């Protein structure tokens, strides 16, 4: 599938037609393809000079002025699908490979033996901050929205329960039944301290593992190591959920970075420790100002820890491919993605305003020494300042390794297409190792220069993703399990 095939479109924008009819369209389309048809590529102006590392001889110079728009376009790299579907799609695929390697092994430098290690799929939720409208899950028996809430009216004269049946796409789902009763400040402060809650959770989990083995934490590290990969997901109410894969390994060495545990414990034993740690962890949150009171923050009561089974068809069990696809999918979501398209979300708007209000109060009371001084900076994330995807060092490969491998693949393919001889390509790649490149670029802007260019890139990105997804979904007998996970990922 060539790059130019992606532009078989009905485009009415005059700037798009002008671009397609220009002499430099083929060069521009190749450059757009090299960015993955990014929605908002970074524009750089300058040059890169290549020198021989051994002799110091100047070999050649790449100048952005030789390109169609006199600028070099590179990917924005934004993980959020609402900002850049193309870069988000690539990030999602990288996360799937990273997670899949950590749960199944046999790929990306992770041995297949990790699939035999105890593994748990963990979900940690936020506590309740007030009653919100809920929906019936797809395929489940329809039920009233808030059937378990108390009858009658709240102190503000609004009903405490809703008896309607809401679909998943209903704009009311996640909205507070009474905005005056809802604890917007409490949710905002919980979100702000959520990264610290997770840090303390991992510490507590390791200590519990050691305690149940009857030894100190330091001694237990010679037998068992807790490894994890975690992603954050926004609920409809704007509260963050944490989903994690928790695995037990042995003590790693240079020869064997992913050893089997030295103590034989089942995944169900690890699941019990995960649940116990969730009940124990708490944080004393400082008051925002002199008019506020301190809070004790914990995870919500809806905590789930399920053993991951490699070969299972029983109800309630989860497979490695399912959890890898699930986590990769939600690693690219943002707070704005929980709102229905085109519908103003008053609940999320109130949470953003609360972040700004609390930040202002904190600055007036203690200045920049306040722990909430930067809360306003994270208003668009509804107060959550943590990483949406993180992992322990030895859980799997790294995103950097995956991206380096992709760059090497594209470089090798370009060399092969240019020279057409494998022996010549090998010599050329060997020469690359003995060169040094000095870059002299400066940032000149972000995004395509015209609306037509942006529309061409967007349409091409949509067509490329559809083609890639169809190719991934094609059955391959020798990789049946992994393709099932990728199919789940792109549903």
- Shared-domain flag, residues 203 and 311: yes
Q: In this model, does residue 99 exceed pLDDT 70?
A: yes
Q: Check residue 296 and give its pLDDT.
A: 96
Asked whether residue 122 falls in the same domain as residue 190, the answer is yes
Residues 38 and 74 in one domain: yes
Residue 153 domain-assigned (yes or no): no
pLDDT score of 487: 46
DSSP-derived letter for residue 395 is S
Same domain, 246 and 208: yes
First to last CA, the chain: 23
Residues 349 and 428 in one domain: no
Please say whether the beta carbons of 490 and 472 come within 8 A.
yes
Query: Do residues 413 and 311 both lie within one domain?
Result: no
The two structure tokens encoding residue 7: 């532009």
Domain of 312, in residue numbers: 114-129+183-391
Locate tokens 């702000």: which residue?
192
Give the count of alpha carbons within 13 A of 330, CB side only: 22
Residues 219 and 120 in one domain: yes
Taking the CA of residue 133 as centre, how many other CA atoms within 13 Å lie in the half-sphere pointing to its CB? 20
Residue 108 lies in a domain: no
C-alpha 24/C-alpha 30 separation (Å) is: 10
| 297 contacts 45 by C-beta, under 8 angstroms | no
Domain count, the chain: 2
Question: What is the pLDDT, as a whole number, of residue 326?
Answer: 78
- The alpha carbon of residue 249 and the mean position of all alpha carbons in its chain are separated, in whole angstroms, by 24
Both 241 and 365 in one domain: the answer is: yes
Residue of 273, 254, 255 whose CA lies nearest to 263? 273
Residue 440 belongs to a domain: yes
Confidence of residue 165 (pLDDT cuts 50, 70, 90): confident
Is residue 383 in some structural domain?
A: yes
* C-alpha closest to that of 220 among 245, 255, 250: 250
Q: Is 415 a member of any domain? A: yes
State which of 391, 418, 440 marks the end of a domain. Answer: 391
Same domain, 332 and 372: yes
The reply to whether 190 and 67 lie within a common domain is: no
pLDDT at residue number 211: 95
Within-domain flag for 426: yes
Dist. CA 13–CA 392, nearest whole Å: 48
Mean pLDDT score across all residues of the chain: 84
Q: Are 250 and 237 in contact, with CB atoms under 8 Å apart? A: no
> Which of the residue ranges 259-273, 316-330, 412-426 has the most confident prediction, judged by mean pLDDT?
259-273
Q: Where residue 412 falls among pLDDT bands split at 50, 70, 90?
A: confident
pLDDT in tens, 32-69: 988 989 999 999 999 999 998 888 888 889 999 999 89
Q: Where are the alpha helices (DSSP H) in 222-380?
A: 267-280, 320-330, 346-366
Boundary-marking domain end, from 357, 372, 391: 391
Last residue of a domain, one of 356, 391, 426: 391
- Cα(136)–Cα(164) distance, rounded to whole angstroms? 10
The answer as to whether 157 is a domain residue is no
Q: What letters, b where the CB count within 10 A reaches 16 and e where it falls short, cover 50-80?
A: beeeeeeeeeeeeebeebbbebbbebbebbb
- 389 within 8 A of 324, measured Cβ to Cβ: no
Task: Decide the pairing of beta strands 225-234 and 119-124.
Answer: unpaired
Maximum CA pair distance of the chain?
85
User: Could you give the CA distance from residue 169 to residue 236 in angstroms, rounded to a whole number?
Assistant: 10
Sign of the alpha-carbon torsion through 480, 486, 489, 491: negative
The answer to whether position 451 is within a domain reads yes
Domain match, 437 and 292 both: no
Express each pLDDT in 251-308 by its tens digit: 998 889 999 999 899 999 999 999 999 999 999 999 999 999 999 999 999 999 999 8
**Same domain, yes or no: 337 and 434:** no
Give dist(CA 454, CA 11) in Å, integer: 12
Q: Contact, 274 vs 305, CB < 8 A? A: yes
Percent of the chain beyond pLDDT 70? 85
What's the whole-model pTM score? 0.82
- Read off the pLDDT band of 159 (50, 70, 90): confident
């Amino acid at each position: 599938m060539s790059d130019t095939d992606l532009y078989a479109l009905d485009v009415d924008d005059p700037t798009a037609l002008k671009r397609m009819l220009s002499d430099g369209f083929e060069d521009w389309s190749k450059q757009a393809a090299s960015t993955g048809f990014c929605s908002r590529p970074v524009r750089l102006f300058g040059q890169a000079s290549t020198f021989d590392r051994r002799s110091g001889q100047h070999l050649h110079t790449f100048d952005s002025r030789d390109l169609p728009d006199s600028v070099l376009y590179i990917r924005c790299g934004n993980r959020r699908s609402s900002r850049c579907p193309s870069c988000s799609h690539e990030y999602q695929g990288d996360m799937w490979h990273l997670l899949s390697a950590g749960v199944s092994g046999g790929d990306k430098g992770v041995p297949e033996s990790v699939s035999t290690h105890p593994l748990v799929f963990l979900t940690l939720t936020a506590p309740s901050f007030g009653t919100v409208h809920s929906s019936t899950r797809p395929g489940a028996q329809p039920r009233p929205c808030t059937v378990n809430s108390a009858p009658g009216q709240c102190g503000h004269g609004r009903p405490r329960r809703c008896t309607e049946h809401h679909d998943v796409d209903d704009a009311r789902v996640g909205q507070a039944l009474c905005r005056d009763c809802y604890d917007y400040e409490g949710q905002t402060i919980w979100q702000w301290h959520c990264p610290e809650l997770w840090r303390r959770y991992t510490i507590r989990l390791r200590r519990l593992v050691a305690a149940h083995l009857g030894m100190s934490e330091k001694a237990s590290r010679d037998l068992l190591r807790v490894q994890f990969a975690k992603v954050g997901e926004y609920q409809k109410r704007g509260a963050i959920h944490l989903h994690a894969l928790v695995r037990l390994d042995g003590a790693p060495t240079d020869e064997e970075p992913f050893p089997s545990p030295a103590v034989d414990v089942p995944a169900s034993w690890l699941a019990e420790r995960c649940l116990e740690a969730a009940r124990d962890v708490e944080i004393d949150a400082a008051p925002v100002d002199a008019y506020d009171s301190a809070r004790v923050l914990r995870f919500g009561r809806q905590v789930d820890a399920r053993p991951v089974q490699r070969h299972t068809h029983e109800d309630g069990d989860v497979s490695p491919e399912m959890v890898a696809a699930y986590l990769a999918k939600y690693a690219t979501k943002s707070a704005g993605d929980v709102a229905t398209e085109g519908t103003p979300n008053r609940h999320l708007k109130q949470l953003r305003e609360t972040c700004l209000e609390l930040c202002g109060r904190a600055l007036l009371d203690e200045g920049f020494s306040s722990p909430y001084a930067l809360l306003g900076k994270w208003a668009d994330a509804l107060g959550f300042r943590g990483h949406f995807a993180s992992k322990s060092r030895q859980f799997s490969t790294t995103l950097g390794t995956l991206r380096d491998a992709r760059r090497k693949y594209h470089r090798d393919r370009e060399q092969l297409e240019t020279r057409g001889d494998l022996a010549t390509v090998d010599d050329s790649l060997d020469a690359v190792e003995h060169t040094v490149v000095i870059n002299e670029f400066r940032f000149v802007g972000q995004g395509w220069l015209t609306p037509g260019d942006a529309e061409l890139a967007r349409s091409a990105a949509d067509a490329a993703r559809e083609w890639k997804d169809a190719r991934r979904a094609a059955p391959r007998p020798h990789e049946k399990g992994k393709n099932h996970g990728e199919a789940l990922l792109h549903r």
